[in-house]
Amino acid sequence: MRAVHRAVSDLRRGTPVLLEGGGEALVLAAAETVGARGLAELAGAALAPPVLLLAAPRAAAVLARPILARSVPAAAAEDAPVALRLSPALLDPAALRRLADPVAEDLLPEVPQIVPAPGFAQALSPVAIALAKVGRLLPALVAAPASTAAGARLGLLSVAVPAVLGYPAAAATSLTRVAEARVPLEDAPEARIAAFRAADGGIEHLAILVGTPEAARKSAGKSAGESAGEAAPLARIHSECFTGDLLGSLRCDCGPQLRGAIARMAAEPAGGVLLYLAQEGRGIGLVNKLRAYTLQDGGLDTLDANRALGYGADERDFRVAATMLEALGLPRIRLLTNNPDKVAGLSACGIEVTGRVSHLFAANGVNDAYLATKKARFGHLLG
């Protein structure tokens, strides 16, 4: 986990890294952050001219501009990364950022040519894209086969393929409770907040415990008139939303869902638990969510905007929530959600979901299309 964490940090600040696996090595730099120095270091370690690796949906957008007000083919989300040939003019930090970022694509100097995927692209490029996503960077990387000796001479960090592929599971399952305090809330005076941190020292996830949900678990089966489903405590998975939760944005329904869930749990005899996960924008991060908003203003819906950035429709990892529920002693819950994927995701991680509790809020005149997309394209049960 340490090597992945360090590699992500280097990519975020524009420094190339080496990706090694299967006897091969790839030198990588994030297209949105690399500068002249980083490109020079990449060239110093490269054994061949670099290409631009893009997630398939982003490549589809670049090769079929304009992206605004058009749909990204659904099949592209599942395809392997695409390699684009870079002319000398495009081996420039500003040009690379425009290629990576669809918000700035109208400034592109030319459309790159697609090339047959090199050998390294078939083997290592999906892992390279995964590494960029761990860092919540745009999944667009300058890449070339590398000399590990030259990379070491330049002081470039090396990370192994198995470490990258195993990182999401390792980060989720290594979560431990590091702090807890009573925090009375406006809608739930009897509330506690517990913080969880992964072994890599990354960003924390929070559990908001309303009342005593543990009591519902302990009472399961003790009351003759109480069903197993009723005995399970109420729980909600809520991905953080800076704009909706904190600022009251009207573009989504996150703020009302957050406050409504807390109030709903406060009305429960045993309360409930809300897992406040650091998975903004369905796992793409705040910066990329703002980029997606710009694309939505140009005509794309939520799903296609994420794909235009190179991300999947939903990049969240429900193993995080499952680990937290197990640590809280709540392996059996009723889930407050309109999203059947959350039920399926938690169940696949070993959490027993005894029932789904609907969590509906009316459209506000601004988020009508957003809610319609949730229903039509994400399968949310909104009536």
Which structural domains are found in the chain, ordered by start?
A: 2-169 (3.90.870.10), 175-279+316-377 (3.40.50.10990)
User: Is 209 within 8 Å of 193 (Cβ atoms)?
Assistant: yes
**Segment (H or E) for 128:** helix 125-134
Whether 314 sits among the annotated catalytic residues: the reply is yes
Whether 264 sits among the annotated catalytic residues: the reply is no
Per-residue confidence of the chain (383 residues) as pLDDT tens digits? 889 999 999 999 999 999 999 889 999 999 999 999 999 999 999 999 999 998 887 887 777 654 443 445 554 545 678 888 888 878 889 888 888 888 876 544 456 676 766 777 678 999 999 999 999 999 999 999 999 999 999 999 999 999 999 999 999 999 999 999 999 999 999 999 999 999 988 889 999 999 999 877 665 544 434 455 557 999 999 999 999 999 999 999 999 999 999 999 999 998 999 999 999 999 999 999 999 999 999 888 999 899 889 998 899 999 999 999 999 999 999 999 999 999 999 999 999 999 999 999 999 999 999 999 999 999 999 87
User: Is 204 within 8 Å of 195 (Cβ atoms)?
Assistant: yes
Q: Check whether the bond before 66 is cis (ω within 30° of 0).
A: yes
The distance between the two most distant Cα atoms of the chain, rounded to a whole number of Å, is 76
Read off the pLDDT of residues 299-332 as tens digits, 9 standing for 90 and up: 889 998 998 899 988 999 999 999 999 999 999 9
As a whole number of angstroms, the distance between CA 6 and CA 129 comes to 16
pTM: 0.89
Backbone angles phi, psi at 212, to 5 degrees: -130, 75
Catalytic residue among 253, 314, 332, 334: 314
Catalytic residue among 192, 316, 332, 334: 316
**Segment (H or E) for 9:** helix 2-12
The secondary structure of residue 242, as a DSSP letter, is I
Look up tokens 């090769």; give the residue: 63
The strand order across the sheet containing 205-210 reads: 176-182, 191-197, 205-210, 272-277, 234-239, 332-336, 352-357
Helix 368-377 crosses helix 302-309 at what angle (to 10 degrees)?
80
Backbone angles phi, psi at 163, to 5 degrees: -65, -40
